[in-house]
Amino acid sequence: MQIHEYASFDAIGLRDLIKAGQVTAAEVEAVAREAITIADAVLNGLALPPFDPALGHVADGPLAGVPFLIKDHGPVAEGVPFFLGSRALPGILAQRDTDLMTRFKVAGLVTLGLTTVPEMMLSFSTESLRYGPTRNPWDRDHGVGGSSGGAAALVAAGAVPLAHASDGAGSIRVPASCCGLVGLKPSRGRTPCGPDMGEPMLGMAYEFGLTRTVRDAAHLLDAVHGPGIGDKYTALEQAIPWHRRTPAFSVGRS
């Protein structure tokens, strides 16, 4: 698989290729690493060099083999340092996976890196002193919004088909609009916040992801939705999976 072929598929397209045996998960990961390295050199979307090896994951999950990135959001994945985009934090190691990170792993997502954010995630401009500005792949003279700016840049560039993001006042939706992506902020109680945060931003902030297609957002929500143990809020269980509510879309990008 070549980079231009890889970048033309969304997450479900890549998953289906792997399931059909047309390409292996290892081959997809190898080309994803190459794509991430090339894109990051131009866009500055990674907070750290790519993880080697990738974080552990379930090999037969519903999104098995799909490359993925997590946000420098705070303690997300066990053993991964976080900086919140600030020079004040030297890189504190997360002591455990968040409930959502556990679900990303169970879904089979292959986590390959940590993406940039504004300092303390308090700006809609991903241009921290720690990392420098993250560039927009559509026009490198423009920014990517924030706070999930590095995630948006690398998804929009085709380096990965989807990435972890979070939103309290627009941190998924703003970079999605800046980069031409699908940016869904889940409603309260739809995705878990624990175990270390029960009610971030007084219940206004929730975590999910950024994608290039609606069907990827729907499949990702199917894989990770539902409250965690001890969450203050819950949302009603859906009788019909989210991906069955969306129309069929072509595999590649236009």
Domains of the chain, with CATH numbers? 3-245 (3.90.1300.10)
* pLDDT score for 219: 97
Sign, Cα dihedral of 73, 176, 68, 116: negative
How far apart CA 185 and CA 175 sit, in angstroms, is: 12
pLDDT tens, residue order, the chain (254 aa): 999 999 999 999 999 999 999 999 999 999 999 999 999 999 999 999 999 999 999 999 999 999 999 999 999 999 999 999 999 999 999 999 999 999 999 999 999 999 999 999 999 999 999 999 999 999 999 999 999 999 999 999 999 999 999 999 999 999 999 999 999 999 988 999 888 877 777 677 899 999 999 999 999 999 999 988 778 888 888 888 888 887 655 445 43
Q: In this predicted model, what pLDDT tens digit does every residue of 49-91 receive, in sequence order?
A: 999 999 999 999 999 999 999 999 999 999 999 999 999 999 9
Catalytic residue selected from 71, 86, 128, 148: 71
| Nearest-angstrom CA–CA distance, 142 and 125 | 10
Let me know if 171 is a catalytic residue. Answer: yes
Closest CA to 68 of 128, 197, 175, 155: 155
Going from the C-alpha of 31 to that of each of 35, 59, 83, the distances in angstroms are: 6, 18, 27
Q: Which phi and psi angles does 217 have, rounded to 5°?
A: -60, -40
Residue 249 confidence (pLDDT): 52
The one catalytic residue in 147, 148, 166, 185 is: 147
71 is catalytic: yes
> What pLDDT was estimated at residue 254?
35
pLDDT at site 235: 85
Catalytic residue among 128, 148, 166, 171: 171
Predicted pLDDT of residue 248: 57
Q: With the CA atoms of 38, 4, 143 and 139 taken in that order, what torsion angle do they form, in degrees rounded to the nearest 10? A: 110
Cα–Cα distance, 147 to 224 (Å, whole number): 21
CA distance 98 to 75: 7
pLDDT reported for residue 30: 98
Are 164 and 176 within 8 A, CB to CB? no
For residue range 30-49, list pLDDT tens digits in order.
Answer: 999 999 999 999 999 999 99
